[in-house]
Structure 1
Amino acid sequence: MKVATSIVLGRQAQPALAAQAVNNAMSKAGITSANAVILLLTSEFASNPQAAIKAAAKAAACTQVTGCSATGIFTEEDWVLDTPAAAAMVFGGDIKLELARHNHNLQPLLTIAAPSAINSTWLDHHTRYGGISGDVTGQGPFSVWQNAKGDVTGHIEMFISGVKMATQAAHGLSLLSPPKLIQTSQQFDVQQLGKHKALRSLQKAWDSYRKTPEPLPLHLIMAVYGDSEKAILQGNYHQTTIISCDEADGSVTLAHTLPVGQYLSWALRDANSAQADMLLATDALSTALGSTPDFGLLFSCLGRGPYLYDGEDLDLKVVTKRFPNMPLLGFYGNGEIACINGQNQLLPYSTVLSLFSAL
């Protein structure tokens, strides 16, 4: 199997880190040149990533270098936050990373985008998996790249040929309340949920869970919604964040508009649920793939990883323990992309894991 990864840390954001990551990965894969490279750089490179991209292309002896800058990056060996680093996955043999325009068999598209480049029309086109670049500020002229050069459109889309694959998202949420019908809403404000005002419903759900008088941790509570009670209870839901609460009229303002007739539950982000969900997703993916994976890509929210698990990335540990020594590459981003029930979704606070095995 001629796929391998490497991650290299340094004191400064030097192009040599990218070259070393590629060289190390090629050595592991037993190749002297690569068909393609996925190159991830930490945000310290954001002001001038092109020199590192060129260094990676030169080391790989190929121009198919794809990737992005992100706040944190990782491989199966290590994860990095707040330190200059480069991580690379190299492809050799019959496995290639190809441009979307050659996707005649309609393979799922590996998709990486800057936060400013997301739009629903583009997102809904083709089955996708991937993540949103962690470079929120876009300090340089671009934060994503392909063909060994920056892409000013802000998004890239490619597919991996020579493999079969399976993808699954892990939300890591614990439902605090049963699904209730949205009775009244106005734009982003949910007003009446079942028999109660939305804020009253939220407060009751939190009080029932905590059983102590603690303030609502709005940053940890999500609204999950779907077309039916059954869909939500089976995990087939969308999710959105809470923006604010209005004690005067009892409404809750969400990041997305929800129409009357949808069902909504309140859910909590917590480490135990997240790790359990990741275990279930990893096992389900292994079954869906039907063979031992040869490599994987993992896209994780910056709000998970070490920030959720008190300095450890237990999501990453779940995967590496389940598949020891499997080449794995990923980054901590600002959103994750997965196709759920036939519809591409931009997910918050989730992980999206894709496993691949050679044909």
Structure 2
Amino acid sequence: MLSRLRQHTGVLEWVGASGVGVLGTRGAALDAPGISVLLGAFPLDSFRVFSGRKPLPRDFPAYAALVHADPLTPDMAELVRDMAHKVRGGRLAGGVACARTQAWQIADGTLIGGLSGVAFDDRIQTLTGISQGCQPLPGSWRVTRAQDNLIEQIDSRPAVEVFREAAGPALGADLRRAVSTLLVGLSEDDADRRQFTARRIVALDVRTGRLAINDSAQSGQSLVFLRRDEAAARADLLRMLTELRNACPRPPRGALYVSCASRGGIMFERDDSEVEMIRETFGDIPLAGFFAAGEIAGDRLYGQTGCLTVFV
């Protein structure tokens, strides 16, 4: 595929990743074969393609980077944070490669493992927005006792007790349904309830009052409970798109969208619902993207998230 792209376009330098579906200007297909391509013309000295085989040069003034990652690489969240520190603007955006068998990355060649992508200097301006498909429930709390992925106490009370209270009478009476509907949002920012990382609740123990999530938690972190369904996902995506459009100094010239493989028609009405909302907000701009096993924005690795990067 890479050889054909080079042969038919004349473009020699490529970055990308495999996914379980693709998104483009006119639509999307999840769990179906396809390819989505975005071509760009940049000054030759304004970007550098990098990977584990070809590290980013120390003397290149990286300001933003589009990245792809291997789903089997250990400590990927740490690798993302480390890469963000190498980028002066801290602007990372991208996703984790995804496949039914072997997940591939492209960075001037095909490869597996680690992190790869393209870094730009500050002449190439990008803006990124994320939508975690959630709406915070009323109230905010603080983790007061945690161990690894177990949250034992919230505001010095048993975590399950606070969870049941936040869920409300109907959901609180059916904890199995509550666990499948609600998530935990963790943050270091007390002031902004939207600056959180959404994490799934994987188990709860009524006897001990502990919650288990699919990430580690630390005492002192701010915590909110989140509702995730189609209505919440649409509202949050519209919020993100509106904020990103308002932040653009001019109409974008192109965009990349990475959506979680658990979104598309699983979360929305159709696989192309997100593309339709992007087009309604930004018009008919060139767009490419894929359905990923994880999404990257800033210095964080997310899940079940939509990540849109626009070139302005």
Matched, 1:143 2:143: no
Task: Decide which moves more: 170-179 or 95-104.
Answer: 95-104
- Counterpart CA distance in 2 for 1:228 and 1:155 is 28
Q: Which residue of 2 aligns with 1:349?
A: 304
Q: Which residue of 2 aligns with 1:157?
A: 117
Matched, 1:240 2:199: yes
**Deviation (angstroms), 1:260:** 1.9
5 Å matches for 1:153-302?
A: 153-160=113-120, 163-194=124-155, 196-208=157-169, 210=171, 213=174, 215-227=176-188, 229-231=190-192, 233=193, 235-302=194-261
Which runs of no fewer than 5 residues in structure 2 stay unpaired?
Answer: 51-55, 85-89
Alignment check: 8 A CA contact 1:275 1:314 kept? no
Matched, 1:122 2:79: yes
**Deviation (angstroms), 1:76:** 1.1
Q: Which residue of 1 aligns with 2:22?
A: 73
**Deviation (angstroms), 1:208:** 4.3
**Deviation (angstroms), 1:257:** 2.1
Aligned with 1:59 (options 8, 23, 26): 8
Alignment check: 8 A CA contact 1:225 1:264 kept? yes
Q: Percent identity?
A: 18
Aligned length, in residue pairs: 296
> CA 1:194–1:243 in 2, change beyond 3 Å: closer, same or farther?
same
> CA 1:63–1:146 in 2, change beyond 3 Å: closer, same or farther?
same
Alignment check: 8 A CA contact 1:144 1:154 kept? no
Give the alignment's TM-score, normalised by structure 1.
0.75
Task: Decide which moves more: 257-266 or 102-111.
Answer: 102-111
**Deviation (angstroms), 1:215:** 3.5
> CA 1:68–1:320 in 2, change beyond 3 Å: closer, same or farther?
same
- Counterpart CA distance in 1 for 2:258 and 2:224 is 25
Alignment check: 8 A CA contact 2:21 2:291 kept? yes
Find the residue that maps to 1:99 and give its secondary structure.
strand
Task: Decide which moves more: 107-116 or 310-319.
Answer: 310-319
Q: Cα deviation per residue 1:106-132 (whole Å; 9 max; x = unaligned)?
A: 221100112113534421123311011
Aligned with 2:96 (options 114, 125, 132): 132
Q: What is the Cα-based RMSD across aligned positions, in Å?
A: 2.4
Higher relative contact order by CA 8 Å / sep ≥ 6: 1 or 2?
Answer: 2
Q: Which residue of 1 aligns with 2:53?
A: none
Find the residue that maps to 1:296 and give its secondary structure.
strand
Structure 1 letter corresponding to 2:260: C
- Counterpart CA distance in 2 for 1:76 and 1:263 is 38
Matched, 1:84 2:33: yes
Find the residue that maps to 1:353 and give its secondary structure.
strand
- Counterpart CA distance in 1 for 2:120 and 2:11 is 16
Alignment check: 8 A CA contact 2:77 2:300 kept? no
Task: Decide which moves more: 81-90 or 329-338.
Answer: 81-90
Alignment check: 8 A CA contact 1:164 1:289 kept? no
Greater strand share, structure number: 1
5 Å matches for 1:104-123?
A: 104-117=60-73, 119-123=76-80
Which one has a bigger Cα radius of gyration? 1
Give the alignment's TM-score, normalised by structure 2.
0.86
> CA 1:209–1:133 in 2, change beyond 3 Å: closer, same or farther?
farther
Q: Which residue of 1 aligns with 2:87?
A: none
Alignment check: 8 A CA contact 1:177 1:267 kept? no
Find the residue that maps to 1:320 and give its secondary structure.
helix
**Deviation (angstroms), 1:250:** 1.3
Task: Decide which moves more: 97-106 or 62-71.
Answer: 97-106
**Deviation (angstroms), 1:356:** 0.7
Find the residue that maps to 1:199 and give its secondary structure.
helix
Q: Cα deviation per residue 1:179-215 (whole Å; 9 max; x = unaligned)?
A: 1122222332111212531112222222347587573
Alignment check: 8 A CA contact 2:142 2:223 kept? yes
Find the residue that maps to 1:240 and give its secondary structure.
strand
Task: Decide which moves more: 260-269 or 347-356.
Answer: 260-269
Task: Decide which moves more: 290-299 or 200-209.
Answer: 200-209
**Deviation (angstroms), 1:154:** 4.0
> CA 1:304–1:204 in 2, change beyond 3 Å: closer, same or farther?
same
Q: Cα deviation per residue 1:251-272 (whole Å; 9 max; x = unaligned)?
A: 1111222222222121121222
**Deviation (angstroms), 1:335:** 1.1
Alignment check: 8 A CA contact 1:114 1:136 kept? no
> CA 1:319–1:55 in 2, change beyond 3 Å: closer, same or farther?
same
Which runs of no fewer than 5 residues in structure 1 stay unpaired?
Answer: 1-51
